[in-house]
Structure 1
């Protein structure tokens, strides 16, 4: 039996070596299933053996809703799947499904008729369920040798489809769940907490598959808190922290990227690097990974982050609407007052997550670490006063909790994040201070453009101050001046694909520009994890003045473009075809000649 396996492994790599078209010794396009250069079954089988059976061939999650293959349709299973489809756990437990169905090119839609198309063409063809560094190295080597597109995937929570690669191979890090609490971390150059960028204090080392709820629980059991998102199912080490990462701790301690002490990463070459701000060999890689976007510089195996002692927290929620016949004038006056009070919330280092439509506002949670009920009432009571004077009812709650963990558990709702059309803009504090009327009028213009339009906002104070100074990183500088991270939202439809395309155009061409024009040219920015994938000036808007340096670091550590992500650093060197094929751009080819 062992001899048979050995022969299979040796022969599989000798058979059907890929022969993609060449230009100056690099492939013009990644190969797709069915093309002559694509690996044959024996080669995939050999990779599976090297991974001890952890290579997963993709069967679309929505297959029970279709009869593309005999015997796959199951009405009961399909109904259950449709009901669970908006839930994050439906997708992060699957090896290929992503939460932004738009980027699968409608390959297998659970809500379309049973006879409609359902195949794996819009998904990765295989996923390597990696267990550590060696599995990652072998997967990268296979993809490089066979000209197969790679994707780095944990949960699939990604509004821009960065964790997908049609016809390609996913490095699935979801099961790298190791958590280590380090009570007395010492950075290589630091003997004191503020010495030369060094750090001494509590930290946690998190495997790349660790999610927010897992990290928070482990931290709480040790008496600590750490930066996570309001969506508790996101992975900490992936695009969340690598892209900046906001949450309820941001105003007190900074963004998630500001907390990073070390990155353990497998590079395109297969080399393992431990990047810290103190190590001159990889300090540039540390800088790039800490805010420059996920999935393009290497495969993160683990991240080590600062954690903080627990602190009492005040948290609250406020919601009101016109749904029960309330006065629209009063409603809008109350919303305008709420927007105007955001500056007061940021002054006390509070954070608020809110969702606004033309007839409803929901703020939940809003919190101040170390604050009191009086602090939060001073911020929000003026809004409630407007509502009471206008006889518009509301739901209003403010409560003090002994720990941040308790406040998060009690006040943070479960977010269903699957499928929406959105585009982000970071609105500077200066707009609140000098052009409040302009801001609120633009907000109402957007909301009045259609009953389905909404704005999702999180208000944080990510400016650096004495309690959250971080080593230098590549976070978009626009974050340091931002008062609101606003996402203009239109719903996704599973039954009208042309309408999805139109809604994408509407966000890019009509809705987002209304807010963008509030900021002087060249000074705006966006949160790249929630951004408009069609943003025309994405390099500057998503990365600010950091982009050129990020591109240089990308080319240093990944000169052949092994790692690609839509709107990620270096992605302008590639073009996505309608069939999912990823090819070198004309501009890149002209530079390479």
Structure 2
């Protein structure tokens, strides 16, 4: 029997009705043009929150800082130690209803490493949501939306994964926590006007915002981006309708949700995606190092010169990362390939690197009967948190083949300038992922979804990131953010007309409309206005973000 798995899986996250709540503070006057914060007189009363909790069957949770056990009044040495051990990892945040996987957006408001003597910062929620509803169905979403609108408070949608843009939180917000929507059902005979074949319906807690933002991975060169594989969405709109969005029903909403940004047009409960047969897959990984700077960069140049060939090999994907003196091929994958096939693809590079006296470490070619087995070998689950930590800031840019072919020297000069920036308090790395997701290669019709058009012409997604210490100050986090923006602009100057992958981007890019949505923006805005005309859902750099709300100095959403 053929084993099927979803493209997302293949590609690479109570209080009782009588719970105690603080009394409503009264430090600010009523201001209906702004969403209320807990310090405002209009903030919901304890009785209001009690009624909401009853409505949702006890699924309302009060937001609590993850590290409050490290601070006075809540001190718990054992619990604090556990939080400190996991602070830089991802797993700590998966099951928390309000804490986001981003130190920049947590704003060090309750950092467990800044609670010792000499640090006077208090433990507060700051940017983090004040309350969350554990979403279990459409009714709990509707209750949350109604409450937020009736009480003039901010609404946010939080799922599971990383969030570099601060989209899944908001000061004083009520979070719709969809993490626990994790049902999976298989339909081997899904039939629609656009697709017939195996499909899998997955809850939003599994799907996350991955496909809504495009979604790439090690199988994208074979099957396309995650958004290319969506068949339909189950959603709740902010006017309280429970809808299906597909190519034939609410097609405009389906189009926008398939790559046009997450958590902005409607609240997704589930999505149905194509399923593909698993099978034999070849993979390769290696590390090379050198203390000879000239030879090291010559080896990197050889790698990038080879990369345009990758897009000519059906199904081949590759991802890599390098810093000064060390280059790691995280994974090269070839579905249906053999060890000989993979070695042949990399042979020219191996020869060039060896001639430059590169020292290879952990170089190996692997063949496994399934993708999951291969990926778990290349990136073991036990190493996943340390390989992809939460304490980092990242920016990206899609690089067309012409840049690598015609202007490689300038591109590598930019990478070298980034890595040699000694003003940054953290470890700098440059990364790349090569996928051929052109319309012709993955069999997707132009304009069939809202994926950023620059993806279709890209040779690779280029990124620059800083991993920083768990006790990095707010001032340094802000400095790092500014640096990553600068680096992103350096690559942008070499790639006019291209764009950036929104899941690996910066919130304060002044060109966000063009860079993150391209010429899809105006069409996406019409969808936003149709399904969320009151802009109940608001996020940084989301479509329409500059039209209705803006954050004031205290983080309060106010009318533009």
Q: Do the structures match in fold with TM over 0.5?
A: yes
The gaps in structure 2 that reach 5 residues or longer are 1-16, 19-25
- The equivalent residue for 2:460 is 484
1:501 to 471, 478, 492: 478
> Deviation digits for residues 236-284 of structure 1, max 9, x if unmatched?
2x321100000011111100000000010000011011011123xx100
CA positional deviation for 1:75? 3.1
Aligned equivalents of 1:156, 1:150: Cα separation in 2: 18
Aligned equivalents of 1:160, 1:83: Cα separation in 2: 25
- The equivalent residue for 2:95 is 93
- The equivalent residue for 1:582 is 557
Aligned equivalents of 1:150, 1:429: Cα separation in 2: 41
Aligned equivalents of 1:503, 1:408: Cα separation in 2: 31
- The equivalent residue for 2:369 is 402
Q: Which moved more, 1:121-130 or 1:344-353?
A: 344-353
- The equivalent residue for 1:274 is 244
CA positional deviation for 1:152? 0.6
Evaluate the alpha carbon distance shift between residue 437 and residue 378 of structure 1 in structure 2; reply closer, same or farther with a 3 A threshold. farther
CA positional deviation for 1:204? 0.2
CA positional deviation for 1:148? 1.1
Q: In the alignment, is the contact (CA less than 8 A) between 2:278 and 2:371 conserved in 1?
A: yes
Q: In the alignment, is the contact (CA less than 8 A) between 1:426 and 1:483 conserved in 2?
A: yes
Q: In the alignment, is the contact (CA less than 8 A) between 2:551 and 2:557 conserved in 1?
A: yes
Q: Does 1:130 align with 2:135?
A: yes
CA positional deviation for 1:19? 9.7
- The equivalent residue for 2:270 is 302
- The equivalent residue for 1:225 is none
Aligned equivalents of 1:358, 1:467: Cα separation in 2: 35
Q: In the alignment, is the contact (CA less than 8 A) between 2:107 and 2:474 conserved in 1?
A: no
Alignment of 1:407-556 (within 5 A): 407-413=374-380, 414=384, 415-450=387-422, 452-465=427-440, 467-469=442-444, 472-493=448-469, 494-508=471-485, 510-520=486-496, 523-556=497-530
- The equivalent residue for 1:260 is 230
2:86 to 84, 87, 95: 84
- TM-score (normalizing by structure 2): 0.89
Evaluate the alpha carbon distance shift between residue 128 and residue 206 of structure 1 in structure 2; reply closer, same or farther with a 3 A threshold. same
Aligned equivalents of 1:340, 1:49: Cα separation in 2: 62
Q: Does 1:362 align with 2:334?
A: no
Aligned equivalents of 2:442, 2:457: Cα separation in 1: 17
> Deviation digits for residues 181-234 of structure 1, max 9, x if unmatched?
1101001x3xxxxxxxx1000000001112xxxxxxxxxxxxxxxxxxxxxxxx
Aligned equivalents of 2:542, 2:55: Cα separation in 1: 30
Aligned equivalents of 1:481, 1:133: Cα separation in 2: 38
CA positional deviation for 1:375? 2.8
Aligned equivalents of 2:216, 2:180: Cα separation in 1: 24
Aligned equivalents of 1:314, 1:35: Cα separation in 2: 59
1:66 to 71, 74, 81: 71
Q: In the alignment, is the contact (CA less than 8 A) between 2:319 and 2:432 conserved in 1?
A: yes
Aligned equivalents of 2:431, 2:272: Cα separation in 1: 30
Q: In the alignment, is the contact (CA less than 8 A) between 2:109 and 2:125 conserved in 1?
A: yes
Aligned equivalents of 2:369, 2:112: Cα separation in 1: 44
Aligned to 1:572, what secondary structure does the other structure show? Answer: coil
Q: Does 1:180 align with 2:180?
A: no
> Deviation digits for residues 397-451 of structure 1, max 9, x if unmatched?
1112222232122223414331212211111122122222222222212212237
- TM-score (normalizing by structure 1): 0.84
Q: In the alignment, is the contact (CA less than 8 A) between 1:20 and 1:147 conserved in 2?
A: no
Cα RMSD between the aligned structures? Answer: 2.0
CA positional deviation for 1:570? 1.0
Q: Does 1:333 align with 2:298?
A: yes
CA positional deviation for 1:354? 1.3
Aligned equivalents of 1:19, 1:548: Cα separation in 2: 37
- The equivalent residue for 2:210 is 240
Q: Does 1:572 align with 2:546?
A: yes
CA positional deviation for 1:297? 0.4
Aligned equivalents of 1:167, 1:408: Cα separation in 2: 39
CA positional deviation for 1:377? 1.8
- Report 1 or 2 for greater relative contact order, CA contacts < 8 Å, sequence distance ≥ 6: 2
Aligned equivalents of 2:271, 2:301: Cα separation in 1: 41
Q: Does 1:205 align with 2:201?
A: yes
- The equivalent residue for 1:589 is none
Aligned equivalents of 1:141, 1:377: Cα separation in 2: 58
Q: How many residues align?
A: 520
- The equivalent residue for 2:4 is none
Q: In the alignment, is the contact (CA less than 8 A) between 1:330 and 1:386 conserved in 2?
A: no
Alignment of 1:284-299 (within 5 A): 284-299=252-267
CA positional deviation for 1:568? 0.7
Aligned equivalents of 1:377, 1:556: Cα separation in 2: 52
Aligned equivalents of 1:526, 1:570: Cα separation in 2: 18
Aligned equivalents of 1:249, 1:75: Cα separation in 2: 44
Q: Which moved more, 1:459-468 or 1:289-298?
A: 459-468
- The equivalent residue for 2:3 is none
Aligned equivalents of 1:79, 1:382: Cα separation in 2: 49
The gaps in structure 1 that reach 5 residues or longer are 9-15, 22-26, 190-197, 211-235, 586-593
CA positional deviation for 1:286? 0.4
